[in-house]
Every structure is written in C-alpha cells, then in structure tokens.
Structure 1
Amino acid sequence: MFAFIARLLVLTAAISSVSAFAQAPKASFAATGEATSIPYGWMDFCSRRPQECRQAALPATDIALTREAWTQIDEVNRAVNAAIEPISNLEHWGTIADHWDYPTDGKGDCKIYALEKRRRLIEMGFPRQALLMTIVRDHHDQGHTILTLRTSRGDFILDNLTDAVKPWEKTGYRFVKRQSQEDPNVWLAIEARQRVGAR
C-alpha cells in the first residue's frame, strides 16, 4: 500500500512539473536587420581574450527549450546575479571606456554579468549561436547589456536587474543591436517594434 502511494505521489509530481512547464512563457522573435557597428567593449574583450573571438562561423542554432533546459537557464541566471557584486565601470576600472570581461574579482556591471552567463551556459553545452550579447536602452534610456537566448519558444532575456527570465518584448527595453547567431563578431541592428511570432 505504501509503495503504491509513493508511486502515486511521484506520478503526481511529474504531471505537475510537466503542466507547469507547459505554462512557461512563450516569446516572439526579435527581428534583426543589417550589420551594424561592433561595440568597442566587445572589440577590447577580443583583444585581451582572442581565443573567445577567433571562432569559425557556425550555422544558426536555437536552444530546444525543454523543461530541463529552462531549469538550467533559470538557475544560471539566478546564480550569476547572486555571485557578482554590482559596481559601475568607472568605479571598477577607473575609466569611462567600456570594459567587458569575466568577473575575475567577483565584481562588475551589466556586461560582466552577461558574459559570465554566456560562458557558463556554453560550458553546460548550450549552443554558442543561441547565446547573444545584446545592447539595449533601459527604462531610463541608458545603455544596458543583457544576454538574449534564442530558443524554440522565442527570444528570452537574462538580465542582471532581475532574476526572472523574460520574453524579450516584456522587458520594456528598446533593443538596439545584438550578435549574429552565425558569427559573434558580427553585430546586427534590431528593428524597432518588429517581432516574429513564436514557432
């Protein structure tokens, strides 16, 4: 009898988990346009860490957004947000020049958070082509860097300002440009107010 009840509880939990994921948000896909200028910070990052940028172009690939993948993405977003002490570029590096890097000292601004999330997800086996550094204008019309995840359920955002993994169109940001899926050293303009429905 106890074995039956235990199996029933496991089955109920599994059904609840599947149901919860079925309610996970869907997003549209941001429409990208022509190639645009490469951020200075990315070029500087590449000059200091050339192995990160001297990579062959690859076919565009989206993340298959399974329940397991969603859980891993959410955990990485929360873990990196908790692990890094927020500090401005000027306070951190003593310069107003954009400085992109990994959190070697546990501190950083938005670029450091986004790069670290990208690195961890790549190390976990997520495709590089679906993890796109992205420049936006935030709610105060200030420049801000986030990580876009291109998935089978649309474009989602990992942001150091929130632990919630949000559809890109729900952030309230004005999207400016992001990396090409094929080549991380090519940046594409994001077309204002244009979106493509989720598949």
Structure 2
Amino acid sequence: MSRIAAFFLSAALVFAGGAAEASGGLPTSSFAVVGGETSIPYGWIDFCQRQPQECSQPVLPSRDVKLDAATWRALNHINAQVNAAIEPVSNYDHWGTMLDHWDYPTDGKGDCKIYALYKRKLLIDRGFPRQALLMTIVRDHEGEGHAILTVKTDHGDFILDNLTNKIRPWTATGYRFLKRQSQEDPNVWVSFAGAAPVVSRAGVARINYR
C-alpha cells in the first residue's frame, strides 16, 4: 500500500472511531498535577533561536479546550494525519548530531519532537488555544526520553503521541511524566508532582530521545 493510501485509510478509520466514541459519550481524564518551574529542554531553546516568531509569545491566562464531538474529531484527525505523514527517523540519523534538535517536518522526516511540534502547530492553526497545547517530556516504557503533546481540556488531560493513533488520558500511557510547558508561557517549563529530572551543570535537562 502506498504511503498516501495508507494515510487516507488511517484518517478514515480514526474519523470513524472518533465519531463513534463521541456519539457514545465524550472521553474523560484526570488533570495532571504540576509543580514549580524547572529547566527548559535544550531542544526548545535551540528551536526558539531558529524560530523566534514561534517563541516570542505573550503571557496569556490559562485556558483549556472545550471538548465536544467536533473538537474530539479534530484532535483525532490531526493526530492520525501527522503520524501518517512523517517518516520516523532518529535525531542522529536525521541531523547528524547528538545535540537535541527540535523542528517542523520540512523534509517529511523526524522523531517524536517533530511529530509533537507539528501537531501543536496544526491545532493552533485550526483555532485551538495555545495555552492548552503543551509540549511534554516523559520517560517511555523502556525508560527512554520521549516527547508528546498534552492537550488540556475541560474533560481532563489527553495525550497525542506518535507511537499510537489512539488519543489516551495521560494516566493511561504508562509513561513517567517529567516536565511540560506552562499554560501561561510556552517558554516556562514546569515539573510534574514527584518528578525529579537530572539537570546538567548548565541548568538544562539532558534527555536522550528515541
């Protein structure tokens, strides 16, 4: 099956699944408890230096997505669309460096950060509030660093992940949550309750992403 055909099939299945779930009642999740400010990932700092327009943003009041059938379908569509459109490739194989590189998929390739950043951008372009779309750093099932997108809604916190087309409550991922962007300011990162990320001497958390 061609990559384009696979994308349309995947999108169709997600639309069908999302509509069925919405018609039977919207999903619910809990709200993650976050702590105080923590170190900013090196990749975000580097991304901001190359894409200053993406990071020179005003501080805004916290705001959650109002979850209804339409927004749930949109979230499922974007998650499946991006997962199908990007060819997975490691940071080193892609950029030829061990330094963490965050970017948009300008060449159609990338690792977890590229997926999450692009989902965030497409959702913002569709009118979702920036304050509800939070880049998030976790440890995956094998203890490796992994980036995902948290969507804060009035029904709880949900996760958009490049490893699955299923949007899950944050507690259903099996991940260890370390840090995410502040709702008010995307350039401020906050820890999760109980998380203790390792911080380098430069004050930037070093995580080797898969």
- What TM-score do the two structures reach when normalised by structure 1? 0.86
Q: Cα RMSD over matched residues?
A: 1.4
Cα shift readout 1:133-174 (whole Å, capped 9, x = no counterpart): 000000000000000000010000000000000000000000
Query: Is the contact made by 2:141 and 2:174 (CA closer than 8 Å) also made in structure 1?
Result: yes
Shift of 1:19: 7.7
Shift of 1:191: 1.0
Matching residue of 1:84: 86
Q: Per-residue deviation at 1:20?
A: 4.1
Aligned length: 177
- Assess, with a 3 A threshold, how the Cα gap between structure 1 residues 94 and 154 changes in structure 2: closer, same or farther: same
Q: Which structure would you say has the larger Rg?
A: 1
2:54 is matched with 52
Greater fraction strand: 1
- Give 5+ residue unaligned stretches, structure 1: 1-16, 194-199
Contact 1:136 1:177 in 2 (8 A): yes
Q: 1:98 aligns with which of 100, 109, 129?
A: 100
Q: 1:71 aligns with which of 66, 69, 73?
A: 73
| TM-score scaled by length of structure 2 | 0.82
1:183 counterpart (176, 181, 185): 185
Instruction: Check conservation: 2:36, 2:191, Cα contact below 8 A.
Output: yes
Describe the shift of the 1:33–1:105 C-alpha distance in structure 2 as closer, same or farther (beyond 3 A).
Answer: same
User: Cα 1:71–1:91, aligned 2, differ >3 Å: closer, same or farther?
Assistant: same
Q: Identity rate of aligned residues, in percent? A: 63
What does residue 202 of structure 2 align with? none
- Give structure 2 stretches of 5+ with no counterpart: 1-18, 196-210
- Alignment pair present for 1:169 and 2:163: no
CA contact 2:46–2:102 (8 Å) conserved in 1: yes
Q: Residues 26 and 167 of structure 1 are in contact (CA less than 8 Å); yes or no, is this contact kept in structure 2?
A: yes
Question: C-alpha displacement at 1:78, in angstroms?
Answer: 0.1
Report matched runs for 1:109-128 at 5 Å. 109-128=111-130
Is 1:142 the counterpart of 2:144? The answer is: yes
